[in-house]
Amino acid sequence: MGRLWRREVWRLTLLVGIGALLGWPFSLTSVGVGAGLTFGLAYHLRNLHAMHDWLTHRPQQEPPTASGLWGELFDRLYRYQKGQRITQRRLRSTLQRIQESSEAMRDSVVMLDRHGDLEWWNSSAERMLGLKPALDRGQHITNLLRDPRFVGYFNERDYREPLSLPSPIDENMILQFQITLYGDDERLVMARDITRLHRLEQMRRDFVANVSHELRTPLTVLTGYLETYGDMADMLPERLGKGVAQMQNQTRRMQNLVNDLLLLSRLENDQGGDDHTRLDPTTLLQTVKRDAQALSGGRQQIEVSIDDPRGLKGSEKEIHSAISNLAFNAVRYAGDGARIQLRWRAYGDGACLEVEDDGDGIDPMHLPRLTERFYRVDKGRSTATGGTGLGLAIVKHVLLRHDARLDIDSHPGEGATFRCIFPSSRVQENRQTAASP
């Protein structure tokens, strides 16, 4: 380009020079220079006009022929345009393929712009969400999917977990919504029909609840008889007496298991979570402390500390059950001589109920699975101390119903801290008010 540019400058200088030379004999040098410049200008104007004409009227066609710098400019522009056209064609066909494959998908796909207005959706979205092509384009998604749970999920902008809801046009159809943020704050809403899965899950829950319920009566009868036989232990032969004591132990275990299973299925089945009763953490933790002390039998030191003046909103029975589970676990697993702290304190915007012990702790590799049903680090120890393997699963469910989460922090030999973290919406500003009815 530098070479061509120099040539262009030479061309103009030459024109001006020739003009000056021709004018000089007649003492009209400046007229000659002017004429040279005019020629140069005319040449450039002609090429500029050709370029404008080409780009305006026939940009797809070959460029006008020109030499020097202008020829190079035309060539480059032409090549650039050609490249752009190929890229455009490729993008268009990719877009078309994406739309075709989305169209063929059984899941709903809805594309929203950065304001949350509907841009494009596939036919499954029409069938599952009731979107109408003629009417709904450009509408805000929350005008069409009005369920407050969806609106909350959409506005929250935390899409790590999916949301399950009945379809807005058929409440028997259960949809799982998942939102993805992409590009310039645009969003992709995907909805999957999980009705079958939901029904199976419901069947599993009903089955567990029914079996547990049905086991209750026979277990009560067995326990009753075993208690009577236990009272007559001195009248029974020694071997039989031992057997009765063992049977009593096992029926007690089964009863605990049935009770925990029933509690879990009640927590799962009951939508609940709207209980915002005002709780006083001091009363709650003092009650749990008394029960834990009874279980500990003085083998551990149990303390309560209240480091936040605010109260808590939730179901007293459920939160009491969750914290009792954590405190009883600490008593059962921390070992003799351990120090157990029950604490209420501020945590981020909200607050947390914390159970901390300085016992044997847990290897971090177990932590992600600890809240799974029947997951135990040491099965023998759990069974020997009367554990059902459901305690932490119950805690997790109670917390879920209170918009809270369980955080476990532990290392072998360094004790364990179980933290129930409540959001600010579950924290009562003034505990004095909270304690009043």
User: By C-beta, is 311 or 387 nearer to ligand ADP?
Assistant: 387
CA distance 68 to 5: 8
User: By C-beta, is 167 or 388 nearer to ligand ADP?
Assistant: 388
User: By C-beta, is 315 or 329 nearer to ligand ADP?
Assistant: 329
Measured from the Cβ of residue 59, the count of other Cβ atoms closer than 10 Å reads: 12
Choose which of 382, 397, 419, 420 interacts with ligand ADP (CB under 6 A).
Answer: 382
| Whole-angstrom Cα Rg for the chain | 39
User: By C-beta, is 334 or 404 nearer to ligand ADP?
Assistant: 334
Choose which of 117, 389, 423, 435 interacts with ligand ADP (CB under 6 A).
Answer: 389
Number of residues that bind ligand ADP (CB under 6 A): 20
Q: Near ligand ADP by CB under 6 A, which window of 42-50, 102-110, 233-241, 380-388?
A: 380-388
CA distance 280 to 309: 10
User: By C-beta, is 15 or 370 nearer to ligand ADP?
Assistant: 370
Comparing CA positions, the residue from 300, 302, 292 lying closest to residue 337 is: 300
Comparing CA positions, the residue from 169, 187, 183, 177 lying closest to residue 117 is: 187
By the rule CB under 6 A, 359 interacts with ligand ADP: yes
CB of 434 to ligand ADP, least distance (A): 28
Q: Near ligand ADP by CB under 6 A, which window of 69-77, 207-215, 390-398, 427-435?
A: 390-398
Choose which of 284, 285, 319, 370 interacts with ligand ADP (CB under 6 A).
Answer: 370
CA within 13 Å, CB half, 276: 8
By the rule CB under 6 A, 378 interacts with ligand ADP: yes
CB of 296 to ligand ADP, least distance (A): 13
User: By C-beta, is 215 or 377 nearer to ligand ADP?
Assistant: 377
User: By C-beta, is 96 or 383 nearer to ligand ADP?
Assistant: 383
Pairing of strands 108-112, 174-182: unpaired
CA distances from 177 to 150, 173, 254 (A): 9, 13, 39
CB of 369 to ligand ADP, least distance (A): 9
Cα torsion angle, 195, 199, 204, 210, sign: positive
Size (the chain), residues: 437
DSSP state of 140: B
By the rule CB under 6 A, 261 interacts with ligand ADP: no
CA distance 125 to 134: 14
By the rule CB under 6 A, 399 interacts with ligand ADP: no
Query: By rule CB under 6 A, what string of x and - marks binding of each residue 319-358 to ligand ADP?
Result: ------x---xx--xx----------------------x-
* Contact criterion met (CB below 8 Å) for 320 and 288: yes
By the rule CB under 6 A, 391 interacts with ligand ADP: yes
Q: Near ligand ADP by CB under 6 A, which window of 11-19, 23-31, 231-239, 376-384?
A: 376-384
CA distance 422 to 406: 9
CA distance 58 to 64: 10
Classify residue 366 by burial, with Cβ atoms within 10 Å: 0-12, 13-18, 19+: middle
User: By C-beta, is 233 or 294 nearer to ligand ADP?
Assistant: 294
Choose which of 51, 254, 377, 435 interacts with ligand ADP (CB under 6 A).
Answer: 377
* Contact criterion met (CB below 8 Å) for 54 and 30: no
CA distance 150 to 139: 16
CB of 353 to ligand ADP, least distance (A): 14
Judged by the rule CB under 6 A, the positions of this chain that interact with ligand ADP are 325, 329-330, 333-334, 357, 359, 362, 370, 376-378, 382, 387-392, 416
